[in-house]
Amino acid sequence: MQNAILKVAKPLPPAIERLSELAINLWFSWNPDALQLFAQMDPAKWAQTGHNPVRLLYDLDDATLEALSNNTDFLVQYRQVISKFDAYLNDPTWFQDKHGDRGYVQVAYFSAEFGFHESLPIYSGGLGILAGDHAKSASDLGIPLVGVGLLYKKGYFTQKIDASGGQHSELYDYDFAKLPIAPVLHEGAHRTVSIDMPGRAITLQIWQVQVGRNRIYLLDADHEANNPADKELTAQLYGGNQDTRIAQEIVLGIGGVKALRALGIYPNVYHINEGHAAFLTLERLKELLHLGLPFHVAVETVRSATVFTTHTPVPAGHDTFSIGMVEHYLGPLFHELSRHKQAIIALGLDHHTGQFNMTHLAMNTAGLRNGVSKLHGQVSREMFKEFHGHIDANEVPIGSITNGVHLDTWTAPEWKELLDRFLPGTWREEQGNKHQWQQVEVIPDESIWKVHQQLKDDLVRFARQNIMEQRKRNGESEERIAEVRQYLNPKALTIGFARRFATYKRANMIFNDLYRLKKLISDPDRPVQFIFAGKAHPADYPGQELIREIYRISQMKEFIGKVVMLENYDMNMARYLVQGVDVWLNNPRRPLEASGTSGQKAAMNGVLNFSVLDGWWEEGYNGMNGWAIGSTGTADWAVQEKENTQSIYHILEKEIIPLYYNQGNLPHQWINRMKRSIQSLSPVYNTHRMVQDYTEETYLPTADRARLFVANHYEIATKVADYKQFIRNNWYQVKIIGIDDRSAKLSTEVPLSEIKPSTKEVSAQVHFGPIWPQDTAVEIIYYEDNGEKWEQRIIAMEPTGELVEHIQSYKAAIPGHLIHGPHFSIRVRPISTNFAHSFELSLVTSTLSWQ
């Protein structure tokens, strides 16, 4: 049923009937030929519909469609696109080629938002765009993935900026029949599932989005069986209060699992994309408990099949709810599983705050966890260090897979045509092949600059139109509207800043010294201009004040037409910006940018990044592919603000502006840096590489582990759960009862040839009680200066002699100058070959607290 071909309901002439299939598969959104096919059917209507092919087909009258079906030129293009579409759906894929023997893998990717295209406005920003790009690359690569999300009747919000710079949020009810989605049908009726809420059940309709080869299922509470308040649960993305938020997350997590079951889908990998979806683990727990599994075995089974990605580097950004609120909204679940209520609450309990933390729930129920850049991984390990006991932050089991962007979505068609001419024919399929990207070197500077200037001209036209429409709506004078035609110089150095207007992103930093900025902008020989765009959440008043401040500055005589603020930032505007500016500015407070992806989109188009070394840019910057805004790495906010501001102006004045204007007919040095950027960043910061990393580092091992855990009636899951329970119950008996740290005398049992002059032998005795010593690792921990920082060293201690009265002796050789206490410690930790990572049990006995 769920594999049926989706089509638009409106009948079309036979010669072009597959347009209805093409319009409802978001493959069109990253294929310029398909977009051009729809655009030429009626350019004006295409623009009016927001580039929505489903609505376009409904809005075109029968006579126009019939004429197109008899238009020879249109039919040639139509057949070419359909042929390309069919080849895409049927050609072999990376997953088939590399992992063809893993046909049992099935991934379910849960996310609160998905940003596929402006025609389906169920996204707000980076998290949703990333989820959409993830799904697109999963399709391109042939990863067997289904997505689960929510279908928001009013989307996020449309941003309007008034004549004083104030943001106004407008909501519209979308007609689902005219979006590129389709209802999931069962026996001719819309397929639904039901979830229990306090005092009533809520009916959820299931919709489907076709993304190339894969499907995303979206849940919608706007059903006649629901009361008016419940119908609004899926009305708006990130709308409402805490009650709305927890209810939406129950719909997403618990309702999402129920939807998959209704469709006969039983994944062996559940990917929680941020904590919003973590309630899915409770529905899966309930399923397993109803099968008769003990609670601790059910938890291990859930954990074996779950991957969690965190995107938030500050504690305040993680969803938390009071225990009372959780008890209320999960009341039906707790009533059904009354014996396990406290154990379920404990899975999400943050002992420091007494709140139920969705990230804690995800961490406790996911075998593998990761951040979204190397720096963010380290920040997350520091943040959740206490969650895992007394271990070094680098050992905390949270990895990192750096975000990327979908190259085919974000790279301008003009760039792709140029790359097609000079790169190997497989460059789109093998995006991670760094060698092939070196061919960018041979692209003539003239060709690169021609493409870049064309995209810049397109951006200037788009920006002028955006501002003119804004002024018309605000009732401004004809003179004020007409002057916009002179705004922005297509030949001037153009710097873009566009993203969510959260205060930590510091959109107004460039305005910290208006006198200095005025000198830069007003130089007639080397002009500079800035384009800003972005939405602030309707409840984020400080973010909205940033928009007002930038708008106010843009209206000052010195800056008018050279600093502009565009309204209603969305995916369509984002493409113009990341493809058309010269420099992409990013200046968050470090390390609050978990990854950031807008700069990656810009890099794909030869735009140079000028950014604080935060998120992905810390690992992407190499000194030749853009610029780094400097500051002391550990500086507090005030110092960082001052240092960043000085760095921005200094680099603009001394490096960026001189390089851009150091040109004869062409800015060869600038173009050379564009080439360095494309060569170094495109093969790394794309979602093909990212999804391949997720597949090989998390999906495949998780699928194998999940299969192992459920085999033979949950034999391994039971073994691991019982082992952990036994270890937890008896770990208090593990004690390090003696240490021999004599530095003068080395054991005669160790051959002299194996002992360096600077080493010594350390021995220890450990009391284990009923725990088997082989189920533990006994290690010496010390730190060594590697020239840049103190790096942890771990030396495994070897058992010596027999186990006597639960006591086992150990020994190891370490550098002779180290002294126990000041220089090194000894620890004991539980181990198992069935653990997903070294610290799956956060139990450590250490001499750090032994003395």
Three-state secondary-structure class, residue 175? coil
Task: Give the C-alpha separation, 639 to 635, whole Å.
Answer: 6
Residue 778 CB contacts under 8 Å (≥ 6 apart), including other chains: 764, 766, 796, 797, 799, 810, 826, 827, 828
Computed over every residue of the chain, the mean pLDDT equals 94
Residue 411 CB contacts under 8 Å (≥ 6 apart), including other chains: 419, 579, 604, 605
Residue 827 CB contacts under 8 Å (≥ 6 apart), including other chains: 390, 778, 779, 781, 844, 845, 846, 847, 848
Same domain for 105 and 52? no
pLDDT score for 7:
86
Q: Which of 58, 61, 63, 73 is nearest to 19 (CA)?
A: 58
Q: Which of 296, 334, 408 is nearest to 30 (CA)?
A: 408
Residue 559 lies inside a defined structural domain of this protein: yes
Tokens 């204007």, residue? 661
pLDDT score for 3:
66
Other Cβ atoms less than 10 A from the Cβ of 47: the count is 11
pLDDT score for 755:
47
Task: Give the C-alpha separation, 604 to 455, whole Å.
Answer: 13
Residue 47 tokens, joined: 């623009």
- Partnered with residue 150 across adjacent β-strands are 219
pTM: 0.95
Same domain for 86 and 105? no
Task: Give the C-alpha separation, 594 to 500, whole Å.
Answer: 14
> 72-76, 152-156, 748-752, 800-804 — which is least confidently predicted?
748-752
pLDDT score for 754:
52
Task: Give the C-alpha separation, 555 to 172, whole Å.
Answer: 30
Amino acid at position 1, single letter: M
Give the angle subtended at the CA of 316 by the CAs of 314 and 322, to the nearest 5°.
145
Element (H, E) at 257: helix 256-262
Task: Give the C-alpha separation, 207 to 685, whole Å.
Answer: 31
The answer to whether the beta carbons of residues 145 and 138 sit under 8 Å apart is yes
User: Would the pLDDT of 138 be above 80?
Assistant: yes
Same domain for 108 and 84? no
The per-residue b/e assignment along 643-675, b for 16 or more CB within 10 angstroms, e otherwise, is ebbbbbbebbeeebbebbbeeeeebeebbebbb
List helix spans (H) across 596-667: 598-604, 616-620, 637-651, 657-661
Other Cβ atoms less than 10 A from the Cβ of 461: the count is 14
Same domain for 263 and 318? yes
Task: Give the C-alpha separation, 254 to 146, whole Å.
Answer: 16
User: Would the pLDDT of 488 be above 50?
Assistant: yes
- Partnered with residue 215 across adjacent β-strands are 146, 210
Same domain for 103 and 85? no
Tokens 């960018």, residue? 440
Residue 25 tokens, joined: 């598969």
Tokens 């220089």, residue? 823
Q: What are the Cα distances from residue 39, in Å, to 36, 52, 651? A: 5, 10, 42
pLDDT score for 123:
94
User: Would the pLDDT of 299 be above 60?
Assistant: yes
Residue 728 lies inside a defined structural domain of this protein: no
Query: What are the pLDDT digits (tens) for 573-585?
Result: 999 999 999 999 9
pLDDT score for 166:
96
Cα 282 off chain centre by = 23
Query: What are the pLDDT digits (tens) for 162-220?
Result: 999 999 999 989 999 999 999 999 999 999 999 999 999 999 999 999 999 999 999 99
Query: What are the pLDDT digits (tens) for 504-541?
Result: 999 999 999 999 999 999 999 999 999 999 999 999 99
Residue 539 lies inside a defined structural domain of this protein: yes
pLDDT score for 747:
46
Burial (CB count <10 Å: 0-12, 13-18, 19+), residue 350? middle
Q: Which of 254, 340, 328 is nearest to 297 (CA)?
A: 340
Task: Give the C-alpha separation, 809 to 798, whole Å.
Answer: 8
Residue 698 lies inside a defined structural domain of this protein: no
CATH of the domain at 796: 2.60.40
Same domain for 67 and 29? yes
State what percent of residues in the chain have pLDDT above 70: 97
User: Would the pLDDT of 315 be above 90?
Assistant: no
Local confidence band at 744 (pLDDT 50, 70, 90 cut-offs): very low
How many CA atoms does the CB half-sphere of 7 hold within 13 Å? Answer: 11
Local confidence band at 665 (pLDDT 50, 70, 90 cut-offs): confident
Same domain for 675 and 530? yes
The answer to whether the beta carbons of residues 353 and 320 sit under 8 Å apart is yes
Over residues 700-718, mean pLDDT: 97
Residue 41 lies inside a defined structural domain of this protein: yes
pLDDT score for 617:
97
Residue 708 lies inside a defined structural domain of this protein: no
The answer to whether the beta carbons of residues 627 and 646 sit under 8 Å apart is no
pLDDT score for 742:
75
List helix spans (H) across 372-513: 374-383, 407-410, 413-422, 434-437, 445-473, 478-482
pLDDT score for 632:
72
User: Would the pLDDT of 363 be above 70?
Assistant: yes
User: Would the pLDDT of 743 be above 80?
Assistant: no
Same domain for 113 and 71? no
Cα 326 off chain centre by = 27
Local confidence band at 1 (pLDDT 50, 70, 90 cut-offs): very low
List helix spans (H) across 652-801: 657-661, 668-681, 687-694, 700-730
Same domain for 621 and 523? yes
Task: Give the C-alpha separation, 845 to 730, whole Å.
Answer: 12
User: Would the pLDDT of 291 be above 90?
Assistant: yes
Query: What are the pLDDT digits (tens) for 780-805?
Result: 999 998 887 888 999 999 999 999 99
User: Would the pLDDT of 603 be above 70?
Assistant: yes
Residue 62 tokens, joined: 């029968």
Over residues 647-652, mean pLDDT: 96
Task: Give the C-alpha separation, 278 to 271, whole Å.
Answer: 9
Q: Is the dihedral of CA 283, 286, 290, 295 positive or negative?
A: positive
Peptide bond into 591 cis (omega under 30): yes
Full domain range(s) for residue 776: 734-849
Q: Which of 256, 337, 264 is nearest to 299 (CA)?
A: 337
Query: 35, 61, 90: which is the final residue of a domain?
Result: 90
Residue 665 lies inside a defined structural domain of this protein: yes
* Number of residues written out for the chain: 851
CATH of the domain at 103: 3.40.50.2000
Local confidence band at 283 (pLDDT 50, 70, 90 cut-offs): very high
Q: Which of 330, 245, 257 is nearest to 288 (CA)?
A: 257
Same domain for 448 and 393? no
Residue 239 tokens, joined: 């709308």
Other Cβ atoms less than 10 A from the Cβ of 563: the count is 25
Give the angle subtended at the CA of 831 by the CAs of 829 and 833, to the nearest 5°.
170
User: Would the pLDDT of 746 be above 60?
Assistant: no
Local confidence band at 756 (pLDDT 50, 70, 90 cut-offs): low
pLDDT score for 314:
82
Residue 686 tokens, joined: 């794309």
Give the angle subtended at the CA of 188 by the CAs of 184 and 194, to the nearest 5°.
55
Same domain for 748 and 672? no
The answer to whether the beta carbons of residues 660 and 627 sit under 8 Å apart is no
pLDDT score for 163:
95
Same domain for 143 and 282? yes
pLDDT score for 752:
43
pLDDT score for 147:
98
The answer to whether the beta carbons of residues 846 and 827 sit under 8 Å apart is yes
Terminal Cα distance for the chain, rounded: 66
Number of domains in the chain: 4
The per-residue b/e assignment along 19-31, b for 16 or more CB within 10 angstroms, e otherwise, is bbbbbbbbbbbbb
Query: What are the pLDDT digits (tens) for 63-74?
Result: 999 999 999 999
Residue 523 lies inside a defined structural domain of this protein: yes
Local confidence band at 675 (pLDDT 50, 70, 90 cut-offs): very high
Q: Which of 407, 410, 420 is nearest to 447 (CA)?
A: 420
Over residues 231-252, mean pLDDT: 95
User: Would the pLDDT of 154 be above 60?
Assistant: yes
State what percent of residues in the chain have pLDDT above 90: 89
The answer to whether the beta carbons of residues 489 and 463 sit under 8 Å apart is no
